[in-house]
Amino acid sequence: MAGVNRSPGSESESGDGPDDAGVAVDRVGKTYDDGGSPVRALDDVSFDVEPGEFVCVVGPSGCGKTTLFRIIAGLTDATDGEIRLAGAPVTGPTTDMGVVFQEYHLFPWLTVAENVGFGLERSDRSEAERERRVEEMLDLVGLTEFRDSYPKSLSGGMKQRVAIARSLAVDPELLLMDEPFGAVDAQTREMLQRELLDVWASTGKTVLFVTHDVAEAVTLADRIVVMAADPGRVAEIVDVDVSRPRERGDPAFGEHVARVRELIGAMP
Ligand code: ADP
Ligand code: MG
């Protein structure tokens, strides 16, 4: 991807900065305080995601990745700071974001096509438009022939394809994913990674992808936000200068994995 610029320190500026169509995570903090001793899950987390960019957030278990994901999605309030999508503060869930969770969250009583079309029910598109959109999305993730199947008959990888198709159906600006391939086997995972990159390339969506798997992040991302724990914070932002399509055997790939692992391992 050409034209992806880092602009350190610009997250609090308005105007024609990175806020215009991307995501700004601006000095976000989160303290869980529900009796017992308070947990500082996130502290002063700031970074930008440029429009069309693929950014991964990586860090050890407990460093606040899911908390950050939920705050960006508008599902949890931040204690400090704010999230902006296309320059506008996020105050709750919005169809401008397609959200994919680790668990598939499919409706078991709906077919694959009905699951994909679920978010379109409330849109002002005509029925014919909605149907066309569902078929497009099924085609995009290669599930056309399973359109009338129910989730229980699908493999984990297929279920997650349905979840991705559903999240893209409403044509969101941002695809936000939390360890979406965590529950599938290694081979399926690599296939889903390739498919997601194809979807990203063909739709031009902005993607923010949370994972604890360093190799996955190096496979996918333009940039990697490496987090540290206690309190959850940004340790470093790493540019992934490895040409696409990326091969795990490429020395540059290995160097990036080693670098990110070192950053994570070196943390107190
Ligand atoms: P990750 O996704 O990186 O594993 P989480 O965001 O799930 O991290 O958790 C970050 C920290 O916040 C952990 O210490 C976790 O125990 C704590 N935490 C997460 N959710 C809650 C909650 N609802 N109430 C209290 N503490 C929480
Ligand atoms: Mg998590």
**pLDDT at residue 95, rounded to an integer:** 87
Q: Which residues of the chain have pLDDT under 50?
A: 1-19, 268
Indicate the top mutation candidate among 33, 37, 66 to test ligand 1's pocket, ranked by most ligand atoms within 8 A of CB: 66
Q: pLDDT digits over 47-58, tens only?
A: 999 999 999 999
The DSSP line for 86-99 is: TTEEP-S--TTEEE
- Atom number, ligand 1, closest to the C-alpha of residue 60: 3
List Cα–Cα distances, 246 to 66, 123, 146, 212, 257, in angstroms. 27, 38, 30, 19, 12
**pLDDT at residue 266, rounded to an integer:** 67
**pLDDT at residue 17, rounded to an integer:** 47
Q: pLDDT digits over 82-98, tens only?
A: 999 999 999 999 989 99
**pLDDT at residue 210, rounded to an integer:** 97
| Ligand 1 contact via 42 beta carbon (within 6 Å) | no
Q: Which domains does the chain have, with CATH numbers?
A: 21-96+173-268 (3.40.50.300), 103-171 (no CATH)
Gap between the Cα atoms of 172 and 167, Å rounded: 8
List Cα–Cα distances, 233 to 136, 187, 237, in angstroms. 39, 32, 11
82 C-alpha to ligand 2 centroid (Å) = 20
Gap between the Cα atoms of 204 and 218, Å rounded: 19
